[in-house]
Amino acid sequence: MNKEEFLSEQHSSPAPASFSAAAITSAFSLIHLFIMYGETATLLNAGRLPASTYANSTMYTTLSPCDMCTGAILLYKIRRVVIGENSTFKAAGEDYLRQRGVEVVVMDDQECRTLMERFVRESPGVWWEDIGVVGEEKREEGR
């Protein structure tokens, strides 16, 4: 699938970037849920739907889904995942989703890559936190 095909597909708005934290307004305060990534926020925003709706859905994500989001995709039996780019972050979830019968489409979109490279450059602490890498791991991997 190329970018034009992706953009011309009829679908609801794409999921927010997988690194984003969702914010929920309560009666008393704004609560940030830092384990709420784009994929899980999309499921939450969709609300309770029949299982068949999820099974006939496509999940759109900026990056390769993390382990947590991969689990959510499998739990809801989503049949197809479209990834904007996976050069910035490629999780083991891509292969696992394929092994479990999920169609995984990587767009390899330059605009996504540019957006993510800028985010990593401008917010490295948030980036490492979001992908679950701690200080020692970064040093060991030469990051």
Instruction: Break the chain into its structural domains and give their ranges.
Output: 3-131
Confidence at residue 16, expressed as pLDDT on a 0 to 100 scale: 40
Burial class (CB in 10 A: 0-12, 13-18, 19+), 136: exposed
Q: Does CATH place domain 3-131 in 3.40.140.10?
A: yes
Confidence at residue 17, expressed as pLDDT on a 0 to 100 scale: 41
Q: How far apart (Å, rounded) are the C-alpha atoms in residues 143 and 92?
A: 19
Query: Token pair for residue 134?
Result: 């701690």
Q: What is the pTM of this model?
A: 0.71
Q: Tell me which residues of the chain have a pLDDT lower than 50.
A: 10-30, 139-143
Query: Token pair for residue 137?
Result: 């791991």
Backbone angles phi, psi at 72, to 5 degrees: -65, -40
Q: Which residues are catalytic?
A: 39
Confidence at residue 122, expressed as pLDDT on a 0 to 100 scale: 93
